[in-house]
Amino acid sequence: MGQFAIGIDGGGTSCRAAVINQAGQVLGTGKAGASNILSDLENSLINIVASARQALADAGLAPELTEKLPAVIGTAGANVGNYGKRVEGALPFASSRVVTDATIALQGALGDADGVIGAFGTGSVYNARRDGKIWGIGGWGFVVGDQSSGARLGRDLLEHTLLAYDRVTEKSPLTDAIMAEYGGDPERIVEFAHASKPKDFARYAPVIFEHAQMEDAIAVDIVKSAAKAIAESLDALLWAECPSICLLGGLANAYRPWLNERHKALLAEPKGDVLRGAVELAAKLFREGEGNRG
Each domain of the chain, given as residue ranges in start order, spans 5-107+273-293, 113-270
pTM, 2 dp: 0.79
* CA-CA-CA-CA dihedral for 19, 24, 27, 28, to nearest 10: 40
- 95-99, strands of its sheet edge to edge: 26-32, 15-20, 5-10, 70-75, 95-99
Share of the chain above pLDDT 70, in %: 96
Summarize the confidence of residues 101-115 as an average pLDDT.
89
Q: For 37-41, 232-236, 280-284, which range has the lowest pLDDT when averaged over its residues? A: 37-41
pLDDT at residue 221, as a whole number? 97
Q: Using DSSP, state whether 171 is helix, strand or coil.
A: coil
Fold of 5-107+273-293: Nucleotidyltransferase; domain 5 (3.30.420)
Residue 184 has pLDDT above 90, yes or no: yes
Domain at 113-270, CATH homologous superfamily? ATPase, nucleotide binding domain (3.30.420.40)
Residue 146 contacts residue 124 (beta carbons within 8 Å):
yes
pLDDT at 294 over 70: no
Q: What is the pLDDT of residue 289?
A: 60
State how far the Cα of 66 lies from the Cα of 51, in Å rounded to an integer. 10
pLDDT of residue 2: 58
Which distant-in-sequence residues (6+ apart) come within 8 Å of 127 by Cβ?
102, 103, 105, 106, 116, 117, 134, 135, 136, 237
| pLDDT tens, position by position, 137-178 | 888 888 888 999 999 999 999 999 999 999 999 999 999 999
Q: Do domains 5-107+273-293 and 113-270 have the same CATH topology?
A: yes
